[in-house]
Structures are given as C-alpha cells and as structure tokens.
Amino acid sequence: MLRLAADAMLLLHVLFVVFVMLGLVLIFVGKARQWSWVRNPWFRLIHLVAISVVVIQSWVGAICPLTTIEMVLRSRAGDAVYSGDFISHWLETALYYQLPPWMFVVSYTIFGVISCASWFLVRPRSFVESGDHPASKPGDRIDD
C-alpha cells in the first residue's frame, strides 16, 4: 500500500510539472488562437504561484515536498530505489535529471521570469470580470 501511495505521489509530481510547463505554452498558444480560458485569472494565478514556489525552492536549496513525501513512503515500503515497475520507472526518468543544482536554479528562474512576463503579455481578465464573481447571475455566459 505504501508503494502505491509513493507511485501516486510521483504521478502527482509529474502532473504538477506538466501543469507548470504545458500551462505556460498554452498561455501563449491560447493568445494566438484567441482561447478565452487562458485569460482566466484563477488559472493564471495558480500557474504563477506554482512556478514561483519552484523558483523559490531552487533559490533556497529546498527539496520539493512532493519528492520528500514520495521518498519517505518508498523508504517505509522497503524500497531503496524505485521498484522497477513500468509506470514508476518512466515517471522517474521523466522527472528526475542528473544535472548540477545551479542548472536547475537558472532554468527554473528563467522559466519563472517568462511566466511572470506572460502575465503582462497575455493579460488575464480581472477577477471581477471573470464570471467567477459571486454577483454573477445563473445563466450568465462564462467563457472560461
């Protein structure tokens, strides 16, 4: 059961990375394609907070809590390394790279700067205009 929980944590970690990376790509593609949902302020705020957490962790040298939780679960399950099943192996391969730590700090920072720039280059709607405002009436059109 702990091994399954560790695999689930790894999957959550991969999904987080996909959200951050693909989210930024979709913001710019969405601007070009005029997709209204990429201007959703909640999506944009969550995306910006997510990459900001990654950048700050890299600056202070903190290990991602998702990694820590996964490794604790694997350790308690008796796994010294990944168990070798297909999903764990490929998710680990996709997520964990063997590079000097400074390369991660630089790449995360550059990605964070681009994400911040996207806030100004592809302006999100205001939170009031988003249709998520409590004063919205049922039946109001929501383009998100």
The C-alpha atoms of residue 91 and residue 110 are separated, in whole angstroms, by 24
Q: What is the pLDDT of residue 79?
A: 73
More confident residue, 38 or 90: 38
| CB burial readout 56-74, b (16+ within 10 A) else e | ebbeeeeebebeebbeebb
More confident residue, 84 or 38: 38
Q: What is the pLDDT of residue 71?
A: 85
pLDDT digits (tens, 9 = 90+) for 87-100: 556 666 776 677 78
Q: CB 87: neighbour CB atoms within 10 A? A: 13
Q: What is the pLDDT of residue 15?
A: 93
> What is the mean predicted confidence (pLDDT) over 54-67?
90
| Residue 140 banded pLDDT, cuts 50, 70, 90 | very low
The C-alpha atoms of residue 138 and residue 33 are separated, in whole angstroms, by 28
> What is the mean predicted confidence (pLDDT) over 66-84?
77
pLDDT at 46 over 80: yes
pLDDT digits (tens, 9 = 90+) for 124-133: 999 986 555 5
